[in-house]
Structure 1
Amino acid sequence: MSQKNNSFKCHKISEGEASGEVLFSKDGICFYLIDPETGVVIQRNHCLFGKSIANKILVFPNGTGSSVVQADGMYQLKMHNNAPRAMIVENADTTLVASSIIMEMPLVDKVESVFKQEISNKDTVKVNATEGVITLIEKED
């Protein structure tokens, strides 16, 4: 019987901690193409089209769009209480980093590769960006 990991090392970009349901995106995220009043992705060709990122632990490869569009989109989501609780990104850009720090949204990268093998959509995790660790709280069956 193999032992599953319950915690995963990561690199802090924007400090803080948050717990919530995991939502993976294989596509980059343009926060401007997410309805701030619902948190629902409105970008038609996106893998998360029609799904809400509100209060999720969002796992995605990178941000997309111009710096103004990205920052404003994140800000609007935050003001409507529909932003992700924390974000796990593969390739952080300057706008994503600066916006996360300003909006006090936990953001990490450089997560252990086994994370994507052992964590699935709807699992509940705690992201402690300050300590550089992600912990599995509950596995969704």
Structure 2
Amino acid sequence: MTSFTARTLVEGSAEGLLALLTAPLSFWGGYDSGTGRVIDHSHPAFGAEIAGRILAMPSGRGSSSASSVLAEAIRLGTAPAGIVLAQADSIITVGAIVAARLYGKACPVVVCGPETMAQLRPDARLSLVATADGARLNLSTAV
């Protein structure tokens, strides 16, 4: 098992298989909150199911409305279990905060930086614990 530290944007804990995206994803128009799948036809991960997985990607992309799509997916249980970013994204952060406050459902969001992101593998299992003091990512290659 390999451990990394990260910066917490939204507190919580999650564990699951890693959904590692090579390109930023916009939840607005790029993610179906009803199914938990990537629906942006131009995205390299088109058709991938993200629901219940730990989503890792360089950053978010696009519209401020993406926060409402993420919050709705969290409410429906079709969101990622947690989100790991290489760069902080205020839109994703707002969506997760709103869902935690309105629905009492956590989707932790952390920033690990590009160096850590480069060490993540799509076939890995990742657990993350994000507190006000920081975050810890534990990566296991066994699935």
Which of the five TM-score ranges fits, normalised by the shorter chain?
Answer: 0.7 to 0.9
% of aligned pairs identical? 26
What is the aligned partner in structure 2 of residue 125 from structure 1?
126
What is the aligned partner in structure 1 of residue 12 from structure 2?
16
2:3·2:138 contact (CA, 8 Å) conserved in 1?
yes
Q: Please give the root-mean-square deviation of Cα atoms over the aligned residues, in Å.
A: 1.9
What whole-Å deviation, never above 9, does each CA across 1:64-102 have from its counterpart, x for those lacking one?
A: 12112x112102212321100000011222222222222
Residue 88 in structure 1 maps to residue 84 in structure 2: yes
Match of 1:41 among 25, 35, 38: 38
| Amino acid of the structure 1 residue aligned with 2:58 | P
Question: CA shift at 1:36, angstroms?
Answer: 1.5
What is the aligned partner in structure 2 of residue 56 from structure 1?
53
| Amino acid of the structure 2 residue aligned with 1:139 | T
SS in 1 for 2:14: strand
Please give the alpha-carbon distance, in whole angstroms, between the structure 2 residues aligned to 1:88 and 1:121. 13
**Count of matched residue positions in the alignment of Structure 1 and Structure 2:** 134
Please give the alpha-carbon distance, in whole angstroms, between the structure 1 residues aligned to 2:23 and 2:37. 15
Moved beyond 3 Å, runs of 4+: none
Q: Return the TM-score normalized by structure 2.
A: 0.84
Please give the alpha-carbon distance, in whole angstroms, between the structure 2 residues aligned to 1:135 and 1:37. 29
Question: CA shift at 1:112, angstroms?
Answer: 7.5
Match of 1:75 among 54, 71, 77: 71
Please give the alpha-carbon distance, in whole angstroms, between the structure 2 residues aligned to 1:113 and 1:82. 29
SS in 2 for 1:83: coil
- Call closer, same or farther: CA 1:72–1:114 in 2, change over 3 Å: closer
Larger radius of gyration: 1
